Structure 1
Amino acid sequence: MADVMRSTGPEEEPRDNAAAEHPDGEGGGRSRGRRSRERKGSFWRELPILIVTALVLTILIQAFLARVYVIPSQSMEQTLHGCTGCQNDRVLVDKVSYRFTDPHPGDVVVFRGPETWGQNDFEVPEPSNPVVGFLQGAMSLVGFGSPDEKDFVKRVMATGGQTVECCDDQNRMIVDGEPLNEPYIYWEPGRSDKQPDFAPITVPEGYLWVQGDNRNDSSDSRFQGGGGLNGAVPVDHVIGKAQLIVLPPQRWQSVSDFDPQSDAQSLGAPAWQAGLPAGVGLAAAFPVVWTGRRITASLRRRREERR
């Protein structure tokens, strides 16, 4: 009887303890496999949450902070590239700055064309396939959809109360009797480098006078609505200020807001604000994702406690 007790009872317990104490044993292998499967399962469960969170943040950022716009028009060459058959620029438009201040001379702004303006100098064909139309609408939410024919991008020449005219004997625009300093003007080869003259126009309060940098290939305040006061743009039609060229990569740079009414840079928003909307969005993403992970971990612990 003593031999039987020594051969069964005392020897079984050490084997069980050894299996529990050594992770390389059979029990440890099962535990590691279970943890690995849980980690993989957790990743696939969290992936849809991360995707939805990213999409929601993108939509909110573009609705309230900043949005990417495509430039398919040559009117802002060579500050912004846009032409048939070339890789059009995509610019980050800041929607925050003009909630605290009005557009300033020299700002490159994106705005909805007023009723007196016609369509832009490009056309966007309507997709015949409803699936393609849906995808274009979805892409527009993240800034990669087709451009809107009623959205324009121009540079502010004068603001409400100022008188603008063209031109002096050196072919320079004049605002309030003073010639403008415009180093950004582009004279397209094959076109005249003489700006068309027009009589003095006093811009109404709450309006802007805007023109393209490609000075003689731009349908702007000089011509839209027949010119004159009909060419002025209401400030409340301004969507935002073009701050950065984000695509193509080789064109990545800030958009100049040189003030043509002075020899120095505009006293508007400082350069560091150019990346503010993108920085805010990036900073907001971390706490949102961190909170989501904490909630997921808490739910996982509760499930394990119930087992």
Structure 2
Amino acid sequence: MDTEAQHTERDPSSGTEDGSRSARVSEDAQGPGGTGDTGSAEGARAGRGASSWRRPALVGAACVVFLMLLSHFVIQPFLIPSRSMEPTLQVGDRILVNKLAYRFGGEPERGDVVVFDGTGSFVREQPPGNPVTGLLHDGAAALGLAEPDETDFVKRVVGVGGDRVVCCDADGRLTVNGVPVQEWYVKLGDRPSGVAFDIVVPPDRLWVMGDHRSQSSDSRDHLGSPGGGMVPVDRVVGRADWIAWPLGRWTAVQETDAFDAVPDAPAGGHGTAPHG
């Protein structure tokens, strides 16, 4: 009896030769063709492998969604594709447009650099294109990775509702409500305008021009179009406040005092006669 009892206690896991051999046989049986701990370990590794790419993918997707929501409601990057706003903005600049600037009752002011949708004023209504291609382009443009839509423009506000904007006076200057404007932001060597005009801006409209006057297609080029080249205020996307890229040009878009002396348009929306 004692011998049997000792053998029974020793047999299961006492570390004897029989126990070790039994453990090895058990491990061998659950080897490549088994379904024991090895299979569980491989399953755990596979789960860790899946989670290792799934988590970064989810974080990346969340970041993209956040950036797109931010660009839709608050700040949107735009890529500058042309020379029309030199020297203020250069080809390849990525600007950050403040979409809250006019969201809560504010309106564009003379001198502001704005991005606007030119549909109906600068370009005609276009039939809808491929929705998938359009969505991908809009997403890339929202992140500043693609050129903006062909209907998006960036220009400087020169006249607001009621202003009389004339070019040029006897000294070759642009005038607003009869007051000459010293446009230091205009590209060196350019005239204020090579096209003569004398217009009164309707209410809730804007007269806009590029800083590189000889290279800018702006309100002057659409005088004969429906709307007379005037941009509806509700088509303004926002105000260009910062140059974010390239890093060497990281700066705020400089404000101008060129219009400080310009008086408000009189009631009725007719500016005074320009100075001769």
TM-score normalised to the size of structure 1?
A: 0.62
Letter in 1 for 2:154: V
Task: Percent identity, please.
Answer: 40
Q: Does 1:111 align with 2:113?
A: no
Higher helix share: 1
Shift of 1:170: 2.6
Partner of 1:66: 75
Q: Does 1:80 align with 2:82?
A: no
Letter in 1 for 2:74: L
Partner of 2:58: 49
- The one of 77, 90, 97 equivalent to 1:93 is 97
- Contact 1:114–1:233 (Cα < 8 Å) also in 2: no
Partner of 2:204: 206
**For the residues of structure 2 that align with 1:106 and 1:55, how far apart are their CA atoms?**
33
- The one of 260, 263, 268 equivalent to 1:262 is 260
**For the residues of structure 2 that align with 1:143 and 1:194, how far apart are their CA atoms?**
31
Residues 284-303 of structure 1 mapped to structure 2, 5 A cutoff: none
Change (3 A) 1:222 1:133: closer
Question: Which range moves more in the overlay, 171-180 or 131-140?
Answer: 131-140
- Contact 2:121–2:227 (Cα < 8 Å) also in 1: no
**For the residues of structure 2 that align with 1:240 and 1:157, how far apart are their CA atoms?**
16
Structure 1: stretches of 5+ with no match in the other structure: 13-36, 83-87, 120-125, 265-307
Shift of 1:138: 4.3
Letter in 2 for 1:218: S
- Contact 1:180–1:262 (Cα < 8 Å) also in 2: no
- Contact 1:109–1:153 (Cα < 8 Å) also in 2: yes
Letter in 2 for 1:240: G
**For the residues of structure 1 that align with 2:107 and 2:62, how far apart are their CA atoms?**
33
Partner of 1:152: 153
CA deviation profile, 1:74-119 (whole Å, cap 9, x unmatched): 110110012xxxxx11111111111120001110000011424238
CA deviation profile, 1:140-160 (whole Å, cap 9, x unmatched): 342212331111100000110
Letter in 2 for 1:175: V
Letter in 1 for 2:236: V
Change (3 A) 1:162 1:139: same
Change (3 A) 1:168 1:134: closer
Letter in 2 for 1:245: I
Q: How many residues get paired?
A: 224
Residues 151-190 of structure 1 mapped to structure 2, 5 A cutoff: 151-187=152-188
CA deviation profile, 1:182-218 (whole Å, cap 9, x unmatched): 1111035xxx636335343111110011001012221
Structure 2: stretches of 5+ with no match in the other structure: 15-44, 263-276
Partner of 1:234: 232
Residues 133-152 of structure 1 mapped to structure 2, 5 A cutoff: 136=137, 138-152=139-153
